[in-house]
A and B are shown apart, each in its own frame.
Chain A
Amino acid sequence: MPQPLDYLKETPSQTAGPYVHIGLAPGAAGFQIYGRELGHEIAAPEVPGERIRVEGVVFDGTGAPVRDAMIEVWQADAAGIHPHPEDPRHADCAPGFRGWGRVIPDFETGLWAFDTIKPGVVAGRMGRPLAPHISLWIVARGINIGLATRMYFDDEDNSADPVLALIEQVHRRGTLIARKTAPGLYRFDIRLQGEGETVFLDV
């Protein structure tokens, strides 16, 4: 027998279930308990940048809206800086910029929306710039392990983005690109399965 490797195993994932809101967004579950719920404000009003709203629906493999999902978003500020010590420029991140938010779809329609600022270009690996994007993480009843994806913008130059370029089937790249539907408003639908299936990431 070789020497054993001394790594622990990651705790296995389980579904967030239909009542995820109780823990992560109790107001949506129907009760008030915390002094402040987390994840409501991605960018405080004083944060510089173009104010945008992103909205969409998560659809299942039958085309039905997923009305009990929870989406978390994570993004850089307008200068492409993340408010996190691992970002070498984090000291210059805009004050009041959290970069993170929680998004709860409407229980009847499944429509969700969040307000933020448009992120800037982020430095990627080997110095290759990443086109402006927002990272999304989706959990729900029936999703055994959270699904990661990215949202790009159709009014930005995405042609040199190294992540989009990794998607071998060129026609699938569009599933990661939000459509501008009005000034400051973008539409980003997520299809979990089937025709037009969103590209999900193992990151």
Chain B
Amino acid sequence: MKPAEFHQRDRLWHPPAHHPNYKTSVSRSPRQALLSLEGSLSEITGPTFGHNDIDPIDNDLIRNFAKSGDPVGERIIVHGRVLDENRRPVPRTLVEIWQANASGRYRHKKDTYLGALDPNFGGCGRTLTDETGYYFFRTIKPGAYPWRNWINNWRPAHIHVSVFGSAFSQRLITQMYFEGDPLIAQCPIVQTIPDPRAIDQLIAPLDMNAAIPLDCLAYRFDIVLRGRRSTLFENRLEGN
């Protein structure tokens, strides 16, 4: 048995572990080099999820925590596809998101920002991609919020995104930003990413074609996971 592997991660494209402008990374980044491994079964397998794991309303953040009405803020759809680097869809994979509310306040016992909590907004959602790798959420556009890094740092509006793929070595957590936000260029967390083209990959464009007239706007966010490597000579020509 000779399992196929995944394309190696381009660690010049991802942010480095240590980036002094994002202060917390200074003491939380390894100093020793990573040990490179060729994938074995432990890496090319990973957890699988099904529709019995989640509820249909879980991807609707406008309704999944509503108590007395709809949450306050800009109503949006966030949608896109999960693909791998070979442009193949990643079907039936779990996508999870979390975010602040329209005031920039998180529903978390450790968040003490003075922006108000919204009694009808929880701030998390999850869904499975369909057979074509497509997913969508309905939510409220999050607000910017301040954080203790430099004296006056503000995070751009963002949604945290977690994706599994089909293998544990594809596991990815990232953040989605919104087209045109002037805070993106000033954010030390965004700017941990060295290549401006990689930053562009995290910025969701406004997608008027997917907006619902008189109801909500839409943003498009495609996610790319590591591609499966062809093992032409070792394994099978049709192995792609």
Seen from chain A, the residues whose Cβ lies within 8 Å of a Cβ on chain B are: 6-24, 26, 29-31, 33-36, 38, 60-62, 64, 66, 68, 72, 74, 76, 82-88, 98-100, 107, 122-127, 130, 133, 135, 137, 139-148, 150, 163, 166-167, 172, 192-194, 197-203
Chain A residues with Cβ below 8 Å from B32 are 172, 197, 199-200
Chain B interface mostly = loop
Q: Is B205 an interface residue (CB 8 A)?
A: no
Chain B residues with Cβ below 8 Å from A100 are 46-47
Would you call B160 and A145 a contact (CB within 8 A)? no
Q: Is B144 an interface residue (CB 8 A)?
A: no
Would you call B226 and A10 a contact (CB within 8 A)? yes
Would you call A135 and B43 a contact (CB within 8 A)? yes
**Which of under 10, 10 to 19, 20 to 34, or 35 or more describes the interface residues of B?**
35 or more
Q: Of B27, B54, B110, B224, which one neighbours A62 at CB under 8 angstroms?
A: B27
Seen from chain B, the residues whose Cβ lies within 8 Å of a Cβ on chain A are: 1-3, 7-11, 13-17, 19, 22-32, 34-49, 53-55, 58, 64-65, 83-87, 94, 96-99, 106-111, 122-124, 126, 160, 162, 166-169, 171-175, 189-190, 192-193, 197-199, 201-202, 223-227
B167: nearest residue on chain A (CB-CB)? A86
Chain A residues with Cβ below 8 Å from B201 are 9, 11-12
In the bound assembly, the distance between CA atoms of A9 and B87 in angstroms comes to 10
In the bound assembly, the distance between CA atoms of A67 and B34 in angstroms comes to 23
Chain A interface mostly = loop
Complex A-B: 23 CB contacts under 8 Å? A8-B83, A8-B86, A9-B224, A12-B174, A12-B199, A13-B173, A14-B192, A15-B25, A23-B160, A68-B110, A74-B46, A76-B41, A82-B41, A86-B45, A87-B45, A100-B47, A143-B29, A145-B11, A146-B171, A167-B35, A193-B31, A197-B32, A200-B32
